[in-house]
Amino acid sequence: MTAPPAGWRLRVHESLASTTDPLLRLAAAGEPEGIAVLALRQTAGRGRDGRAWESPAGNLYLSVLLRPGGLARDAGQWALLSAVALHDALAPDVPPGAALAAKWPNDLLLDGAKVAGILTDSAADAEGRIEWIIFGMGANLAVAPAVPGRATACLARPGQPAPEPRAVAARVLAAIDHWRGVLAAQGFGAIREAWVARGPAIGQALTMRDGRAGTYAGLAADGSLLLAGEGRVQALSSGEVGGEAR
């Protein structure tokens, strides 16, 4: 599958500063949902908290625009849906014997090393509802760029070429459509269960980047991370799990 699913408008560029930049402009101008931008290379990609995202040719650089409605406070639930969709799109190309897992809130790990990440931008209207949401997705298909203090991985292996970015992009859009349908039919609980099934093992030791530590106890009903330690369980709605080499 290399063509986008019905209802999606996929624009492919040889190079962009960032795939999210044109969608931010389109979202502000009232562009309907269902548009996606794929770049074969980025020159100014960005990650969480303003970090640079190195973007060599051969990897996936995709941003998508949705207008799902719903309360702005639930935008994080859509971020978990996007992680499930990206996981499913990459899974067919995971090397034999390797493990692909979600890391809360916005990364995917291949055998414990970062292989993909998602950056979410959103806006709310005056009534506190989601006006639009953009997911900027990056995945190391062919190359694992060196990141100081972090282990990285890619899907390509000797004898196993990297998947083609356009084909992976089409699978991402199809997976988003699928999980939106699940959300509409079954509610967020089904998305939460899907993320938990793709996430770390219950009881795995976790350390947050702000220094909080404990063991993973799943996700709360709203998608918050449950961190157990010192006889209690905390529900964390923000922050970032550490765990890569530092």
pLDDT per residue as tens digits for the range 11-47: 999 999 999 999 999 999 999 999 999 999 998 766 5
Co-location of 166 and 220 in the same domain: no
For 133, the 3-state DSSP assignment is strand
The pLDDT tens digits for 120-163 are 999 999 999 999 999 999 999 999 998 877 899 999 988 888 99
Co-location of 156 and 211 in the same domain: no
Domain harbouring 35, CATH code: 3.30.930.10
C-alpha pair distances (Å), 16 with each of 20, 61, 90, 155, 167:
9, 10, 23, 23, 19
pLDDT given for residue 245 in this prediction: 31
Q: Among candidates 120, 165, 170, which has minimal Cα distance to 139?
A: 165
Is pLDDT of 241 > 50? yes
The pLDDT tens digits for 71-127 are 999 999 999 999 999 999 999 999 999 999 999 988 999 999 999 999 999 999 999
Angle between helices 165-186 and 188-198 (to 10 degrees): 130
Domain residues for the domain of 15 are: 9-199
pLDDT given for residue 244 in this prediction: 39
Assigned domain for 134 exists = yes
The pLDDT tens digits for 175-209 are 999 999 999 999 999 999 999 999 999 999 998 88
Assigned domain for 214 exists = yes
Q: Please, what's the largest Cα pairwise distance for the chain? A: 54
Contact call for residues 114 and 151 (beta carbons, < 8 A)? yes
Co-location of 104 and 195 in the same domain: yes
Q: What total of structural domains would you count in the chain?
A: 2
